Amino acid sequence: MEQEDLYISRKHSKGFAALTIVLLAAVLSILSYTVIQYGRISLNVIEEKQSLDSCSVGVGRSIISTNDIESICSSDFLNSCSGLLNMPVPNMSCVDEGLECDGVGICERVFTISSTYNPGRGEVSKDVIVKVKEEEHDVSIVDAAVIMLLDFSGSMNGNRITQLKDTVRSFIDSDYNLSYSVILYNSDIITTSNIGKGQQHKQSIHTMINSNNPGGGTNFVKPLNEALNQIQTSNYEVYYILLISDGSPNEGIDSSQNFVQNNVLNLNNDACLFTTSQNPCITVYTLGVDNANQSALQSISGNTLSQNPEEYSYAVNANQVQLAFQAIIEEIMCRIGPVLAELPINVFNGLDLLDENIDYVYNEDTKVFKFYDVDPFYICTEMLNDSAQLTLRWGDVNLNVSE
């Protein structure tokens, strides 16, 4: 009996051991499956994160290089990006959140890129915030004023005054989106207008030009002082004084030169680097006609940053006044700056990428762009017609994971 009990006991022990082994195998199998599944889920999550991050950077860089926000910030672009990376293709989307600007005026266009996918444990979503530096410029928001000082002295009689009046009339009738005033002078101030624009202002200037004729001598200080009074009693960010004359100041060169030196050229450089209505940049352009004293005119040309006569002083005969005047207006209006962007900078008009040293030149010291009429974009004409939409993009993509 004892042997039989021992046999049964051993038999039960073997069965229990076998059962334990089977249970352990099952547990290990389950654990292995769980580990494999977890590994697969982790791998899926990593791949989806790589896909989201890579395609988000792609969105930012594509917008910097093309400015085509509508096409780039689209599910088609994002999902095709995942396919090109040979990654799993989730449901990706992009939302343009608009501009976000800091305290010094540097703005970034913000995009939320979302990825919705199932890594193997249910649907999840991840968001990435993409920021791209952006600076927009539209001629319609250039807060500038042009003050025209027109020589109506006796020597301007004949063809000179005819050409000058026609030039000013043509400018007025062009209806540029630019505020302006007119000061007629000889040895004294003949008459002045306020700074303004619009139909009523336009008619007032026409009447002023048509009802006055040349006579008397020439004085530069008085019209320059009147221009300064208009600047001090108005609220524009940038002022351009345009003095046109065929002569030489009766008071001598020193008086007008000292006046401009003390009131324009001696301003702090920041006035023209960071021009504001509180500290506006003032630039003097001069246009000498026929026998004008060009040395005197050059001595009062420029601004606090530059007095280069090639940029700010013109010499023409009477029949060239209109072309020269138009060139000065283009210099005034076909520019933007100072800008906040840092090199290298992509410059767009709409979706058109403009070419440096063809469509524009950039002065790194003054941070000012000048634009020119070159086929196929004719950007200066676009700006004069108030139909340009200029956007600057620069820097790298700023990528943040949204929690």
Residue 227: the pLDDT is: 98
b/e sequence 264-301, b meaning 16+ C-beta within 10 Å:
bbebeeebbbebeeeebbbbbbbbbbbebbeebbbbbb
Report, as an integer, the average pLDDT of 189-206.
96
Residue 1: the pLDDT is: 54
Residue 368: the pLDDT is: 87
Residue 112: the pLDDT is: 94
Asked if pLDDT for residue 18 goes beyond 90, the answer is no
Query: In which band, very low, low, confident or very high, does the pLDDT at 31 lie, cut at 50, 70 and 90?
Result: very low
**Greater pLDDT, 206 or 45:** 206
Residue 301: the pLDDT is: 96
Q: What is the pTM of this model?
A: 0.75
Residue 274: the pLDDT is: 80
Q: What is the dihedral of CA 298, 300, 306, 310, to 10 degrees?
A: -20
Residue 285: the pLDDT is: 97
Asked if pLDDT for residue 43 goes beyond 50, the answer is no
Residue 35: the pLDDT is: 40
Asked if pLDDT for residue 34 goes beyond 50, the answer is no
Domains and CATH numbers, the chain: 2-136 (no CATH), 144-164+177-333 (3.40.50.410)
Residue 213: the pLDDT is: 96
Residue 122: the pLDDT is: 57
User: Phi and psi dihedrals of 361, rounded to 5?
Assistant: -125, 150
Q: Tens of pLDDT along 111-159? A: 999 888 765 555 778 899 999 999 987 665 668 999 999 999 999 999 9
Asked if pLDDT for residue 8 goes beyond 70, the answer is no
**Greater pLDDT, 33 or 185:** 185
Asked if pLDDT for residue 23 goes beyond 50, the answer is no
